[in-house]
Amino acid sequence: MECMNIQLQDLTKRFPARGRKARGEVTAVDRLTFEVPDGLLVGLLGPSGCGKSTTLNMICGLETPTEGRIFFGGKDVTDLPPELRGVGMVFQNYALYPHLTVLQNITFPLENLKGAQKLSRTEMRRRALEAAALVQIEELLDRKPKELSGGQQQRVAIARALVKMPKVLLLDEPLSNLDARLRLQTREEICKIQKKTGITTLFVTHDQEEAMSISDRIVVMKDGLLMQQGKPQQVYDDPANLFVAKFLGTPPINVFEGTVRNQQLLLAGQDVLPVPGAPDGDVWVGIRPEGFVPDPQGPVVCGLSRVEVLGRDVSIVCTHPACTTDTLRAIVNARHDVDDAAGTVRFTLHPDKVFLFDHQTEARIR
């Protein structure tokens, strides 16, 4: 399959504000610049309302950008109508035709091709069977959508998106109508299909775990703005700001109010870690659950609430006066013998897992 990269350049969308008393405009997408490299799967990630769907709709041509340009393989497609862009699109609600069989649903996009693109019946059928085989639904071709599970319906929708052999594939929250088990299974299948076809894919989700697990790269958005992009592990290990640090990771990062004095980090007045080069002042401190190392002499003294056995690891749920998150969670190897009857537990900190953020701007400073 011929593929190509997608490039967004300063892409912006402003809508008139809605509501009875609304005035002015809402900036749904704000000067967004990023690339989906040829043949890769990029996860576009962010909380509800951050502009993910609007971005996708501009890429496929359903929305017109207010400003900025969109390029496929270096060619400017900003002013092309959707049908000339060569985009396959999969939505959250599958949008299958209920009265058509699976085979007819998959063939449907080929029925209306015009001019030189027009295909014979035999060729249409051959292509539909090929797409069905790709998503492994060959045995379901004569069924109607209502006779399928959610996961099967979503596979039909993917086959239908692939049947025109698009150059890029766009998926908008494709797994959100599936139950937890099917969601896991279907996301692995999407990943496999993407690798098999090598089709350049942009996958929208608000679920950070989903994005981290299947994406070659992730792009994190907030309020229409790009917060950070990179390989999932890279962004997790090296967050650019407090928002990204909090948005990625299960269990989430623990956040503290801290102070830097004489290149030492203080939590609740206690020296906990040398931070060479960090300027004096108040900071937000993010510590990943795996950043705590149990140590009877450690400087971080926490109240112990409970110890949860996870198998290889244990999760220590505790409290600390400087912690601002609801629960402080440390994940440590089960070989550490933590006495859950003790009132307190002490830790030293793993320096690579402790991030400092500016108290005002929330940008990363260490």
Residues that bind ligand ATP (CB under 6 A): 15, 18, 26, 28, 46, 48-54, 206
**How far is residue 45's CA from residue 219's CA, in Å, rounded to a whole number?**
6
CB-wise, 29 or 158, nearer to ligand ATP? 29
CB of residue 105 to ligand ATP, shortest distance in Å: 24
Please identify, using beta-carbon distances, which residue of 33 and 324 lies nearer to ligand ATP: 33
Of 61, 213, 137, nearest to 70 (Cα)? 61
Q: How far is the CB of 312 from ligand ATP (least distance, A)?
A: 34
CB of 54 or CB of 154, closer to ligand ATP: 54
**Given 3-state DSSP classes, what are the helix, strand and coil percentages for the chain, each rounded to the nearest 5?**
30, 35, 35
**Least CB distance from residue 204 to ligand ATP, whole Å?**
7
Min dist. Cβ of residue 168 to ligand ATP (A): 18
Task: Tell me the closest approach of the beta carbon of residue 337 to ligand ATP, in angstroms.
Answer: 44
Say whether the peptide bond before residue 145 is cis (omega within 30 degrees of 0): no
Q: What is the Cα–Cα distance from 137 to 286, expressed in whole angstroms?
A: 46
Q: Which is nearer to ligand ATP, 31 or 206 (CB)?
A: 206
The least distance separating ligand ATP from the CB of residue 211, rounded to whole angstroms, comes to: 12
CB of 63 or CB of 257, closer to ligand ATP:
63
When the beta carbons of 223 and 290 are compared against ligand ATP, the nearer one is: 223
* Non-local CB neighbours of 65 within 8 Å, separated by 6+ positions: 11, 12, 13, 29, 58, 78
- Closest to ligand ATP by CB, 78 vs 264, is 78
Parallel, antiparallel or unpaired: strands 87-90 and 264-267: unpaired
Q: Tokens 């890429």 belong to which residue?
A: 59
Cα distance between residue 103 and residue 142, in whole Å = 7
**Beta carbon of residue 26, minimum distance to ligand ATP (angstroms, whole number):** 5
Residue nearer to ligand ATP on the CB measure, 53 or 152:
53
Three-class DSSP labels, 270-293: EEEEECCCCCCEEEEEEECHHHEE
Shortest distance in whole angstroms from residue 314 CB to ligand ATP: 34
Name, in order, each residue with C-beta under 8 angstroms of 278's C-beta and a sequence gap of 6 or more.
Answer: 260, 263, 265, 356, 365, 366
Cα–Cα nearest to 216, from 10, 4, 35, 1: 35
Contact partners, residue 244, CB within 8 Å, separation at least 6: 220, 227, 228, 235
Q: Are 269 and 278 a contacting pair, CB within 8 Å?
A: no
